[in-house]
Amino acid sequence: MFMDTEQFAKDLAAMTDAERAQAVGKVEQWFADNAGRITGGSKLAPPHTATTVRMEGGGDPVITDGPFMEGKEVVSGFAEIDVADLDEALAMVRTWPACPTVEIRPVER
C-alpha cells in the first residue's frame, strides 16, 4: 500500500512539468522493472474525492466527506505482488521511487 503525505503532495505540486514527467517516468520504470511480480493494483484518486461510511452503533450509517482517517498519511494506491517472502517484498520496496511510505501486508488466502 502506497502512502502519500501532505509534504509529498506539496513537493509534487512545486515541480516543473519536466520534473514531474521525470518523476512519473521513474514510477513507470519501477512498475516495468517489477512487472513479473506485480499481479494487480490501482492508483487511487486523491483524498478529496473520498467519502467514508461508518456503520458502527447500529443506527443509520454516518456518511462523511474525506478519507476514513484524518492524518498526515493517506493511502494513495496499492499493488498486489507475488513474492516468496517478506524479504523479497522488502527488496522491491527499497527501490520504490515515489511516495515516502509503503506498507507491506500479506493478502488473506
Partner 1 sequence: MTIAPEDELARVVREHAGRLAASLVSLLGDFSAAEDLVQDAVETALRRWPDEGIPDRPDAWLYTVARRRGLDVLRRESTYRAKLELLRTPAPAEPDGRLRLMFTCCHPALPRAAQIALTLRVVCGLTTGQIAAAFLAPETTVAQRITRAKRKIAEAGIPYRVPAAGELPARVREVLAVIYLLFNEGYLSSTAERAHSRDLVDDAEWLASLLTGLLPAEPEAAGLLALIRLHRARDAARFDAAGRLVLLPGQDRSRWDHDAIAAAAALLTRTARRHRAPGPYQLQAAIAACHAEAARWEDTDWPQIVVLYDMLLRLAPSPVTRLHRAIAVHRVEGPEAALGELKDLRAALERYPLYHATHAELLRDLGRPAEAREADERALRLTANPAQQALLEERISWADTAP
Interacting residues with partner 1 (CB under 8 A): 83-87, 89-91, 104-106
Which residues neighbour 104 within 8 Å (Cβ) at sequence distance 6 or greater? 1, 86, 89, 90, 93
Q: How far apart are CA 99 and CA 94, in angstroms?
A: 12
Q: How far apart are CA 27 and CA 33, in angstroms?
A: 10
Q: How far apart are CA 23 and CA 8, in angstroms?
A: 12
Which residues neighbour 5 within 8 Å (Cβ) at sequence distance 6 or greater? 72, 73, 99, 100, 101
